């Protein structure tokens, strides 16, 4: 118990941009740093799955979007 900081906040690295960020419940995009990185990661995954890397991924065109209520 030598290195015990008073405010030990867990720091993780964003899978999208490798940027260090505090893993807190205040961040809805954790473990990503932002919605952008989260969306980019999902887009990359989709591109690789469907092989449609023609245009940059956009959030406003979700093929499996739930029906509007």
For binding to Zn ion (CB under 5 A), which residues are involved? 14, 16-17, 19, 33, 37
Closest separation between CB of residue 52 and Zn ion, Å?
23
Instruction: Kindly tell me which of 12 and 17 has the beta carbon lying closer to Zn ion.
Output: 17
Can you give the C-alpha Rg of the chain in angstroms?
17
For Zn ion, the closer of residues 2 and 25 by Cβ is 25
Instruction: State in Å, rounded, how far the first CA of the chain is from the last one.
Output: 54
For 9, the 3-state DSSP assignment is coil
Closest CB to Zn ion among residues 19, 24? 19
């Amino acid at each position: 118990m030598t290195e015990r900081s008073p405010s030990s906040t867990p720091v993780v690295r964003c899978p999208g941009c490798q940027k260090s960020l505090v893993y807190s419940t205040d961040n809805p995009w954790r473990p990503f740093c932002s919605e952008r990185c989260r969306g980019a990661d999902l887009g990359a995954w989709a591109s690789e799955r469907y092989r449609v890397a023609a245009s940059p991924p956009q959030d406003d065109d979700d093929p499996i979007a739930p029906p509007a209520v």
